[in-house]
Structure 1
């Protein structure tokens, strides 16, 4: 693989990776799940709410309602859903990178195959083997044609010989007629033909 093809493969891969990382960072920065995990993780209660006195229960209930306090189960479910989202995003990025790489490699390898095929074909033609193969096939086709149309070609040559014989006979008759006309003109032209 030459340097130009390597650049064609490397550039889209790096571009797709950078775009994927930027998207992942944007999700981490702007998603409310990450904000809740980062800013409220220190307020997770370690005791059940029923063990507290009524005033503390009211304060904690108000904090939960305002989302300034979350339970461990809620935190755990948010973390699980966050990581599931991140894994899905990374799998999608991986699929996009692999798909792009496949298309690029396929197109570059196809061009390389065409180039190599032309080089080998030119080499093969120059070696003389190609000419020998063409001559063998041409001879086989000629044999097939002779086998199929040989009788027709022979009869055509017979007809040609007959036509030539008839032409010769016509020329001979016309020459005799011409001689007879000359002798008739020379003998006085009494209107009778003599042999």
Structure 2
């Protein structure tokens, strides 16, 4: 199938199928397709979903692969300008590309240590479920997931039993992508331990 030319980009997105998900780099976007680079093993004919900033989730099918970039043909035409504008509005905000995952997370705060579950993660932060009553918006925390080590994060918001964390230092693309591909899981974290010293800031 012939695919038309489109906008040249360098955006971070996500690619998902029924069995796995990964980060991807979006290099070209047109009304009919997107060209991506990803570590996720894809084959022609696979049904996938491409996630972009601004809560865009575009279903499609992997086309013929003839080089390092993989074509994904959309089920229906899209407007590239709308996608790009939505991405600009979401830049740096809560609508950045997020990967859904549920894994144990240890939170070390100024008053205690708490075990909760992740809901999703991005390069800039994550959402957790199972908020401890001693957590307050603005708290500086240490967040631990096995394979990613401990990272400083600021508690940005709380809604019911869920909360949003902003990493003090953005994750590297390769670090997060490799961690997802390795399928790391966290085991054996104690739910209650004594508080540990936090860095100032």
- Shorter-normalised TM-score: what interval? under 0.3
* Larger relative strand fraction: 2
* Larger relative helix fraction: 1
Normalised by the length of structure 1, the TM-score is 0.16
- Which structure is larger by alpha-carbon Rg, 1 or 2? 1
